[in-house]
C-alpha cells in the first residue's frame, strides 16, 4: 500500500502536493478512524494554513466529528491541550514544521497528544486510499467552535514546571527569534513572565517568513547571533516553524548545536536521580559521556521524534530528545516542546549560575559538522542500498541509514523523512576530523548516485 505519512505527518509543496482536496480527504479519513467524538485542530503561521485547516475541519465534521479550532498554536500547545483535556479523540495539526515556506503538512495526534502509532496511521491511510469514509447523516454532522485559551493554558503549565523564582532573580536578557512561526504567540510572553528582558526578532506571525527560513540552523540565524553578541545578552533562542524545537545561541553569540543543549538539559534532568535518556542514533556521543557521568543510561532509537516519544512513554524514561533541538520532558508531556526547552534552559542557567558559553566549553569536546546532499526521492532506496554496499567491511551501525564508526569520530548518512535530501551528521575529536568525515559521508552519497 502507498504510504501517506512520513516520519512526521504528511508534507508537500502547497498546490501540487498539499492542497484543499488532500486536506479534505485527510480530514474525512482521520474523522472516520476516530469514529466521531471531539477533535482539536491547530496550525502554524503558514499562508496556506487557513485554507488547509478549514478543508480538514470540513472533512472531520462530515465524518461526524466535532472540531475545536485552536487557531495558530505551537504544535506542543495543541499536544498539551489534548493531554490535559483527556476526553478528546485526538488532534489534527496543519504544519510543515521546519520546511521551507512553500511547504505545508498535516499530522494526526492521538488522544494523549502524542504522534500516532504507525498502525493507526496505516488505518487512516487505508481509509484514505480505499475511500471508505464515514458520511454522517444530516443530524449527525459535526460542529465547530473556536478556543483561544489554549496558548495561555500552555504557557501557565510551563511556568508550573520550572523554578520561576530562580529564573526571575537572574533577570536574564534574552533575544528570541521565533522566525515568524507559531512560537511568536507563546515564547516572548513566556520569557516576559519569567522576568527576562526580552527582545524579539521576527516576532510577528507571518507565513511568508520574511525574516528567515523556518529551520533553526546556523545559516538562518545570523541576525540572532549578531544581536545576542551586540547587546551582550545572556541567551538567544530560536524555534522552527511550529515551535516544537528550540535552538540556542550562547552569550558570546555562538550557535550551540542541539547535541550540546540536549546534553546539558539531560544532565540537569537526571542529576541526582539517574534514569534513562532516549535519543536517536543521529545524536553525538557527547550524550553518552554526559549521561553516563551523571549516573544515567542512554537508549538509542531510529531518527524521528515520534519514535523517541513513544519509546520514552513505554520505558518510563526520565528524559529524551534529538540533536536538532527537539527536547521531551516527560513530566510535562510526551512530545517535543520548544517553549518548555527554552524555560528549562533558563532554569539551568539560573541554577548553575554560569554562562552558557562556559557550560558548553566544559562539555567533552566533540566537533560536529552537519550537511545535506540532495537526492531525488525516487533514488532514495537505491542510494541507501549502495551506501550499505560501499561501506562493507567497515564498522557500521544500520539502526537508521548508515553510520560509519571510527575510533576518533563517526559519520551518519540517512535520508530525510520529509525532504528530498540525505542528511550527513559527522563528529570528530578535532574540527578537521569532523570536516573530513562529513566530506566522506557526502562523497559516498555522490558515489552512490553515480556522480563520482
Which residues are part of the catalytic machinery?
Answer: 97
d(CA 76, CA 305): 12
The residue (of 37 and 417) whose beta carbon lies closer to Mg ion is 417
Piece of the chain touching Mg ion by CB under 5 A; list 24-32, 62-70, 242-250, 408-416: 242-250
d(CA 419, CA 441): 18
d(CA 140, CA 253): 56
Which of 115, 240, 419, 427 touches Mg ion by CB under 5 A? 240
d(CA 375, CA 70): 37
What is the nearest approach in angstroms of Mg ion to the Cβ of residue 244?
4
Binding mask 128-147 for Mg ion (x = CB under 5 A): --------------------
Which of 244, 251, 322, 400 touches Mg ion by CB under 5 A? 244
C-alpha of 31 from chain center: 25
Binding mask 70-109 for Mg ion (x = CB under 5 A): ---------------------------x------------
Per CB under 5 A, which of residues 147..166 are in contact with Mg ion? Answer: none
On whether the CB atoms of residues 104 and 49 are closer than 8 A, the answer is yes
Piece of the chain touching Mg ion by CB under 5 A; list 156-164, 237-245, 368-376, 429-437: 237-245
The residue (of 240 and 251) whose beta carbon lies closer to Mg ion is 240
Which of 135, 128, 153 is CA-nearest to residue 40? 153
Q: Does residue 259 bind Mg ion (CB under 5 A)?
A: no
**Ordered alpha helix ranges (H), 244-365:** 258-270, 286-293, 305-315, 338-352, 356-361
Q: What are phi and psi of 72, to 5 degrees?
A: -80, 115
The residue (of 93 and 233) whose beta carbon lies closer to Mg ion is 93
Size of the site for Mg ion (CB under 5 A): 4
Task: Using CA atoms of 164, 167, 171, 175 in order, give the dihedral in degrees to the nearest 10.
Answer: -100
d(CA 107, CA 40): 12
What is the nearest approach in angstroms of Mg ion to the Cβ of residue 140?
35
The residue (of 97 and 276) whose beta carbon lies closer to Mg ion is 97
- Taking CB atoms, the residue at the shortest distance from Mg ion is 97
**Residue with cell string 554526559:** 290
What is the nearest approach in angstroms of Mg ion to the Cβ of residue 190?
17
The residue (of 239 and 267) whose beta carbon lies closer to Mg ion is 239
What is the nearest approach in angstroms of Mg ion to the Cβ of residue 342?
14
**What Å distances lie between residue 271 and 4, 276, 366, CA to CA?**
41, 12, 22
Q: Does residue 322 bind Mg ion (CB under 5 A)?
A: no
**What Å distances lie between residue 341 and 3, 86, 231, 338, 370, CA to CA?**
32, 24, 23, 5, 22
What is the nearest approach in angstroms of Mg ion to the Cβ of residue 97?
3
d(CA 115, CA 432): 39
What is the nearest approach in angstroms of Mg ion to the Cβ of residue 94?
13
- Applying CB under 5 A, the residues found at the interface with Mg ion are 97, 240, 242, 244
Amino acid at each position: 500500500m502507498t504510504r501517506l505519512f512520513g516520519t512526521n505527518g504528511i508534507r508537500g509543496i502547497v498546490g501540487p502536493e498539499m492542497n484543499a482536496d488532500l486536506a479534505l480527504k485527510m480530514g474525512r479519513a482521520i474523522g472516520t478512524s476516530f469514529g466521531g467524538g471531539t477533535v482539536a485542530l491547530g496550525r502554524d503561521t503558514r499562508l496556506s494554513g487557513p485554507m488547509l485547516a478549514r478543508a480538514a475541519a470540513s472533512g472531520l465534521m462530515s465524518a461526524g466529528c466535532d472540531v475545536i479550532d485552536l487557531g495558530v498554536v505551537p504544535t506542543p500547545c495543541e499536544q498539551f491541550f489534548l493531554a490535559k483535556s483527556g476526553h478528546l479523540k485526538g488532534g489534527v495539526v496543519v504544519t510543515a514544521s521546519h520546511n521551507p515556506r512553500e511547504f505545508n503538512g498535516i499530522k494526526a495526534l492521538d488522544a494523549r497528544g502524542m504522534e500516532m502509532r504507525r498502525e493507526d496511521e496505516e488505518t487512516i491511510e487505508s481509509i484514505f486510499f480505499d475511500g471508505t469514509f464515514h458520511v454522517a447523516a444530516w443530524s449527525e454532522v459535526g460542529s465547530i467552535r473556536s478556543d483561544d485559551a489554549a496558548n495561555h493554558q500552555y504557557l501557565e503549565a510551563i511556568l508550573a514546571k520550572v523554578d520561576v523564582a530562580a529564573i526571575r532573580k537572574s533577570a536574564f536578557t534574552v533575544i528570541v527569534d521565533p522566525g515568524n512561526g507559531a512560537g511568536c504567540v507563546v515564547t516572548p510572553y513566556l520569557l516576559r513572565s519569567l522576568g527576562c528582558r526580552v527582545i524579539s526578532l521576527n516576532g510577528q506571525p507571518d507565513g511568508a517568513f520574511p525574516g528567515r527560513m523556518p529551520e533553526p540552523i546556523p545559516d538562518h540565524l545570523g541576525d540572532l547571533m549578531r544581536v545576542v553578541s551586540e547587546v551582550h545578552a545572556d541567551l538567544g533562542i530560536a524555534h522552527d516553524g511550529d515551535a516544537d524545537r528550540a535552538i540556542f545561541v550562547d552569550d558570546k553569540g555562538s550557535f550551540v548545536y542541539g547535541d550540546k543543549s540536549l546534553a546539558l538539559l539531560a544532565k540537569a534532568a537526571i542529576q541526582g536521580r539517574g534514569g534513562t535518556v532516549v535519543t536517536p542514533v543521529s545524536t553525538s556521543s557527547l550524550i553518552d559521556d554526559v549521561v553516563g557521568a551523571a549516573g544515567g543510561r542512554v537508549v538509542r532509537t531510529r531518527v524521528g521524534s515520534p519514535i523517541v516519544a513513544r519509546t520514552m512513554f513505554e520505558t518510563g524514561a526520565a528524559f529524551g530528545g534529538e540533536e536538532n533541538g527537539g527536547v521531551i520532558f516527560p513530566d510535562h508531556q510526551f512530545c517535543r516542546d520548544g517553549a518548555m526547552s527554552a524555560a528549562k534552559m533558563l532554569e539551568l542557567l539560573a541554577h548553575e549560575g554560569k554562562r552558557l558559553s562556559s557550560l558548553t566549553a566544559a562539555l567533552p569536546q566533540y566537533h560536529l559538522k552537519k550537511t545535506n546532499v540532495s537526492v531525488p526521492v525516487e533514488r532514495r532506496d537505491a542510494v541507501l542500498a549502495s551506501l550499505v554496499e560501499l561501506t562493507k567491511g567497515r564498522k557500521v551501525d544500520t539502526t537508521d541509514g548508515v553510520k560509519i564508526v571510527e575510533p576518533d569520530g563517526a559519520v551518519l548518512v540517512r535520508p530525510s523523512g520529509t525532504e528530498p535530501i540525505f542528511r550527513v551528521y559527522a563528529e570528530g575529536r578535532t574540527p578537521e576530523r569532523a570536516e573530513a568525515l562529513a566530506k566522506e559521508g557526502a562523497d559516498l552519497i555522490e558515489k552512490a548516485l553515480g556522480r563520482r
